[in-house]
Amino acid sequence: MIYIGNHVSVSKGYLAMGKHELSLGGNTFAFFPRNPRGGKSKTVSDEDVSALRQFVADNDFGKLVVHGAYTMNICAAKEEVRANSREMLRDDLLRLQALSGNFYNFHPGCHVGQGTETAVSQIAGALAEVINEVEELSNTPLQNRILLETMAGKGSEVGSSFEELKEIIEQTVSLAGEAVRPKLGVCLDTCHVWDAGYDIKNDLDGVLEKFDSIIGLDNLCAVHLNDSKNDCGSHKDRHEKLGLGIIGADALKNVVLHPLLKNRPFILETPNDDSGYKAEIQTVKDWMNELIFER
Ligand code: ZN
Ligand code: FE
Ligand code: FE
Quick: pLDDT tens for 93-139: 999 999 999 999 999 999 999 999 999 999 999 999 999 999 999 99
How many A from CA of 128 to the centre of ligand 1?
A: 21
Ligand 1 midpoint to CA 292 (Å): 31
- Given pLDDT bands bounded at 50, 70 and 90, which one contains residue 291? confident
Per the DSSP assignment, residues forming a β-bridge with 185 are 147
Q: Considering only CA atoms, which of 264, 271, 274, 288 is closest in space to residue 228?
A: 271
What are the structural domains of the chain? 3-294 (3.20.20.150)
Taking CA atoms, 54 is separated from 29, 35, 44, 99, 186, in Å, by 15, 25, 16, 10, 26
| 40 pLDDT above the threshold of 90 | no
Q: What is the pLDDT of residue 1?
A: 81
Confidence label for 5 from pLDDT (cuts 50, 70 and 90): very high
Q: What are the tens digits of pLDDT across the range 10-32?
A: 999 999 999 999 999 999 999 99
Give pLDDT, residue 263.
95
Percentage of residues in the chain having pLDDT higher than 70: 96
Question: How remote is the CA of residue 281 from the centroid of ligand 3, in Å?
Answer: 19
Model pLDDT, residue 281: 98
Sign of the CA dihedral with 213 first, then 188, 4, and 20 last: positive
**Nearest ligand (C-alpha, residue 222):** 2
pTM: 0.96
Instruction: Supply the mean pLDDT for the chain.
Output: 95
Ligand 1 center–CA 177 separation, angstroms: 27
Q: How far does residue 75's CA lie from ligand 1's centre (Å)? A: 16
pLDDT, residue 294, reads 65
Query: For 248-262, what is each residue's pLDDT tens digit?
Result: 999 999 999 999 999
Distance 261 CA to ligand 3 centre (A): 20
- Per-residue pLDDT tens for 202-260? 999 999 999 999 999 999 999 999 999 999 999 999 999 999 999 999 999 999 999 99
Q: Dihedral angle at the C-alpha atoms of 141, 143, 148, 149, nearest 10 degrees?
A: 180
Q: Is the pLDDT of residue 85 over 90?
A: yes
What is the number of the ligand closest to the CA of 228?
Answer: 3
User: How many whole angstroms from 38 Cα to the centroid of ligand 1?
Assistant: 14
The crossing angle, in degrees rounded to 10, of helices 249-257 and 204-214 is 40
